[in-house]
Amino acid sequence: MDKVNWESMNVLVTGADGFIGSHVAKALAEKGAEVTTIVRDVRKRNNTDVLGIKDKINIVHGDIIDFKDCERAINEYDIEFCFHIAAQAIVGPANRSPLSTFESNIKGTWNILEASRISKTIKGLVIASSDKAYGQQKKLPYTEESPLSGYFPYDASKACAEIIARSYFMTYNLPLAITRNANTYGPADMNLSRIIPDVITRLIKGKQPVIRSDGNPERDYMYIKDAVNAYLTLAENLHKKDVLGEAFNFGTGKPISVLNLYKKIIRLMGKNIGPKILGQAKNEIDRQYLDSAKARKILGWKEKYDIDSGLKETIDWYKGYFSK
């Protein structure tokens, strides 16, 4: 495929009503792309409204687990490039409802891949996986050579989706690449069950924050602007032979425990309140972080935000949002 030029390009972003997808859609629209998304449910806190992009993108009412909806969106809007980001991405609901998670994350992926394969207009795809696809590993940080050993429902669904995506590349030469991103945070994450928006929101409202785990799990946290840059940079390099069909890690490589993350947030917000530690988290990986050397070497990508600068922007955004 040729190098992409976003100006006037027809781009499908699945999951554009969610956190990461909405930021990717916004960035593409600002670059002049004609962005389309597929939306099943219209939630009260919808990211297309929160980020002000609802009137700047095309919204197809449908569901990625319905092949006909995927095929119609790609064909009727002459889609040339696809960012497949839609997923059931929250660990708790994934554990409670594994079948719906597998449907969304695995079936939804093969529907997008198959609709793209038979399309006459698609030039490339970026498929969103996750660092969770690696599962629990003895050797850290994860590199792209680490085995995909996701055991729990969300982790396994992402590993399966990756294998299917690679099958479409190897068998049908479908031009694609895969992102394996660290935990992503930032403004306009309206899923308040995630640790960062939950803690910030509770502190703004004068409530005691809650930590579901014992506070010890360590994660690699990447700011949303760095994540968006990762998606676009990967897509813009998809014409290169050493990128096609490959998976790339995107993260900071600097893990931090949940409890130390909490301490950073309360310090930045000038608060002095301890969390309620439940110690109830189950089916979650204890420690994980990524080596992004491959993305740096081949794509020239590097994160620009450290955890403190990213948290500062995030806190400021939520303060502004809840003051309206």
- Catalytic residues, which ones? 154
- DSSP H or E segment with residue 25: helix 19-30
Please confirm whether the linkage preceding 141 is cis (ω < 30° from 0). Answer: yes
**Segment holding 10, helix H or strand E:** strand 10-14
Residue 278, CA distances (Å) to 186, 192, 220, 281, 285 in order: 24, 17, 22, 8, 17
- Provide φ and ψ at 59, rounded to 5°: -115, 115
Residue 311, token pair as written in the block: 């948290």
The single-letter DSSP state of residue 142 is B
The one-letter amino acid at 19: F
Per-residue burial over 164-173, b = 16 or more CB atoms within 10 Å of its CB, e = otherwise? ebbebbeeee
